[in-house]
Structure 1
C-alpha cells in the first residue's frame, strides 16, 4: 500500500489541521504541479485553492480510514511555471520524495508529459484540462476532471457566426492547450462558412503588454476575435483590443472565465458580446451556491470552476481511497466512479455523476454570453 511520509521541504504547501483525532493520523501526500508564478499564477492558485479547501475539510472531519488506521491529507505543491518539462521533473520529485499516489495538474502540456511515465511510476494523473485526446490515449491511470472542449468549439462557433459575423481573428495563447483549441476552432469556423482573417497567437504567460499582437488582429477588421489562456491575461488582451477601437465580439476559450476576466477589465461592459463557459457564480443549484458561500467565507472572493472542480475531485479521490481501503492508484481508480457518484451534494458543486470508461468525469458543459452588461446562460 502506498502510504505517504511526512515532508520537511520548504517548497511544500502542507494542508493539515491540528485537531485531536487528525493529529495522530498518518498523512497521505497528494501532489500538485502547476503555474504558481508568471502570467498564469492566478490560474494555478485558483486550482490549488480548491484542493486546499477540500483537504482542510477532510482533515477537520477526522480524515479517513484505511485498514482501520486513520489518515489525513497533505497537499504537496510545486511550481512548474506552465512548463511541461518542469512538470515532469516535479512529478518525478513528488513520487520519489513524497510517495504520492496522485498528482493534480492543470495544463495539457504537463499532463501529456506525465502520461509518458505515470503507469510505470505508479501514480494517478488528475488532469484538469478539457482537451479531448487526454482520455483517448488509453492511459489507465489518468482521470480528466472537466468536460471536453470539443462541444464548446462547435457551440461557440455556431453562436458567433449566427449572431455576429463570419470574419474571425485568432489571438489565443501559445501553450499546447491553446494551440489545440485554436486548431479545432479554425476548422469549425471555416466548415461553417466563416473566414479566418488574421492569426497572431501570443504568450499569455510572459507578457502583460499585448498591444503589438492585438493591433495586428484589430487591423484585419474582424467581426469576432478568438482569445484565451488564463483569465487574467485574457482579460488584458480583451481590454487592449477595446482600447485600440475594436467593437466586435469575442470567443473566449474555456480556460478563461468571463467573471474573472471582468475583474481584470473593471466590469462586464468591455466584454460585451463575449461567448464562453458559464461561470460558477451563475449556477443556481443548491450544491453550487453552498460551495460558493463557503469558498467566499474562506478566501474572500468568488470561486471559479478551477477551484470547484478540483475541490470535488479531491473529495472524490479520498472517498475512493476510503471505500477501497487503499491508496494503490489502480485500486483507487477502479473505485473512483462510485465514489464520485456517492459524494454528498455539499462536496459536489458541479453535480458530477461519475467517471466514464475512458476516465472522464461525467458532467454537462455550459455556455454563456455577455449581453447588456449581464452574463446570460444560453442553450448548449
Structure 2
C-alpha cells in the first residue's frame, strides 16, 4: 500500500510536465520547434497499387513547395509566422477510401485544404466537404467536378474537353477515321470516352471498337488488344496512369498495330517514353498533353532543375501543378488574413493567383472561374519522327 502511494506521488509531477509540454505544442496553429505556427495540408491519393507512381509524383510537388516555403522561414499572416506540413494517406485510387481519409484528416489534423488526384475521390469528398468546411484541391480535368455547384472545390488542371478537337483533327488527318477505344475502366476513363467518341463521330469518324481496361487487375493486354485490332482501327484511344498505359501501347505495337494513339491526359508522353525504352519510337503518332519539361512558363526551368537534383528524374505535370498550387493557396491565406477558415481562403484564391511570384509560375494560370476551375491555355503535343512537337489548339 505504501509502495503504491509513493509511486502515485512520483507520477504526479511527471504527468504535469507532460501536460504542459502537450499544451505548448498541440491544437490548431501548433508551434514548431522554431516557435512558428503550423498549417497542416491533407493529401489522399494512390500510394500503393498500379497507380502508386502517379500518386507519389503528385505528392512530391506538394512536398517540394512545403520544403521551400519552410526553408525560407515560412510565411506571414496577420503578423504571425506559419510553416506548413503535409499529412498524406493512401486511398489506393478508391473513392470510398478517399472519403474516409478526408474525414480522418479533418478530424485529426484540422486540414483546411485536402489534395486529391482522382475524380472519384474528389466526388466522394464533395458529399460532405462543404459541411465539414475544407477545400478540395482536385487534380482532375473532369469538368463535372466543378459543375456540381460545390462552393469549396478547386479544379487544378484544365478541362479535358479542350483536348477533343486538336486530338481528333490531328489523328484523323495523319492516320484515318476508324477509332478503337480502350480507356481505363475508372469513372474518369469512362467520362473521357463518353466525351471523345461522340466528338469523333461528329467529325466524320467511325468508332469501330469499344472496351476498357482495369489497370488494377490487368497486366497482360493481349486479349483486349487482339479484340480491338480485329476491327482494323487507324487510331487507338488509350489512357490511365502513365506506366500501364505505356505497356498497353507497347503490346499494341508488338501485335502489329502501326496507327496512332490518342493519349488521355492522365498519362504523360515523357513518362510513357521511359517505360517503353527511353525513346519515342514506339509512341510515334501519339498525341497527348505537352510534357512539362518541354513547356516554357516563367518558373518551369528552375522547378525542373530542382526536381532533377532531388529525384534524379524529370518532373511531370502532376508534380508541377501541385507545386504551384501550394504557393497559390499560401498567397490566398495571406490575402485572406486567415489560415483556418476554408471559405475565407477560397474567397481569396484569385488574389493568390494575382500575387504568385513569377519564379513560382511553373504553369501560368490566368484566373479561377466562377465554378472553381483554374483557367489556362491548353497545350498539346504529338510525337513525330521520334521528337515532341507542339500542336496548336484552337
Shorter chain as normaliser: what TM range?
Answer: over 0.9
Find the aligned partners of 1:76 and 1:263 in 2 and give their Cα distance.
30
Q: Which runs of 4+ in 1 moved over 6 A?
A: none
* Greater Cα shift, 181-190 or 59-68: 59-68
Contact in 1 for aligned 2:152/2:342 (Cα 8 Å): yes
Which is higher, the Rg of structure 1 or of structure 2?
Answer: 2
TM-score, with length taken from structure 1: 0.93
Deviation, 1:216, is 1.4
Find the aligned partners of 1:278 and 1:248 in 2 and give their Cα distance.
20
Instruction: Name 1:375's counterpart in structure 2.
Output: 388
Unaligned stretches of 5+ residues in structure 1: 7-17
Instruction: Name 1:14's counterpart in structure 2.
Output: none
Helix, strand or coil for the counterpart of 2:245?
helix
* Greater Cα shift, 115-124 or 159-168: 159-168
Find the aligned partners of 1:252 and 1:120 in 2 and give their Cα distance.
37
Find the aligned partners of 2:369 and 2:195 in 1 and give their Cα distance.
23
How big is the alpha-carbon RMSD for the aligned residues of Structure 1 and Structure 2? 1.4
Find the aligned partners of 2:366 and 2:203 in 1 and give their Cα distance.
33
Answer yes or no: is 1:362 the counterpart of 2:375: yes
Instruction: Name 1:122's counterpart in structure 2.
Output: 133
Contact in 2 for aligned 1:4/1:100 (Cα 8 Å): no
Q: For 1:313-336, what per-residue CA distance to the aligned partner results, in whole angstroms no more than 9, with x for missing partners? A: 011101111221212100001111
Instruction: Name 1:142's counterpart in structure 2.
Output: 153
Deviation, 1:4, is 5.0
Instruction: Name 2:179's counterpart in structure 1.
Output: 168
Find the aligned partners of 1:5 and 1:174 in 2 and give their Cα distance.
43
Instruction: Name 1:35's counterpart in structure 2.
Output: 46
Deviation, 1:110, is 0.6
Answer yes or no: is 1:236 the counterpart of 2:247: yes
Distance 1:107 1:224, change over 3 A: same
Contact in 2 for aligned 1:369/1:377 (Cα 8 Å): yes
Deviation, 1:207, is 2.7
Deviation, 1:5, is 5.3
Helix, strand or coil for the counterpart of 2:314?
coil
Find the aligned partners of 2:147 and 2:336 in 1 and give their Cα distance.
26
Answer yes or no: is 1:323 the counterpart of 2:335: yes
Find the aligned partners of 1:206 and 1:305 in 2 and give their Cα distance.
26
Find the aligned partners of 2:227 and 2:82 in 1 and give their Cα distance.
55
Instruction: Name 1:337's counterpart in structure 2.
Output: 350
TM-score, with length taken from structure 2: 0.90
Helix, strand or coil for the counterpart of 1:197?
strand
Find the aligned partners of 1:252 and 1:305 in 2 and give their Cα distance.
15
Contact in 2 for aligned 1:39/1:207 (Cα 8 Å): no
Find the aligned partners of 1:111 and 1:286 in 2 and give their Cα distance.
30
Helix, strand or coil for the counterpart of 1:75?
strand
Q: For 1:23-62, what per-residue CA distance to the aligned partner results, in whole angstroms no more than 9, with x for missing partners? A: 3212111000000111111110110000000010111111
Aligned residues: 365
* Greater Cα shift, 228-237 or 58-67: 58-67
Deviation, 1:150, is 0.4
Contact in 1 for aligned 2:116/2:136 (Cα 8 Å): yes
Deviation, 1:286, is 3.8
* Greater Cα shift, 284-293 or 144-153: 284-293
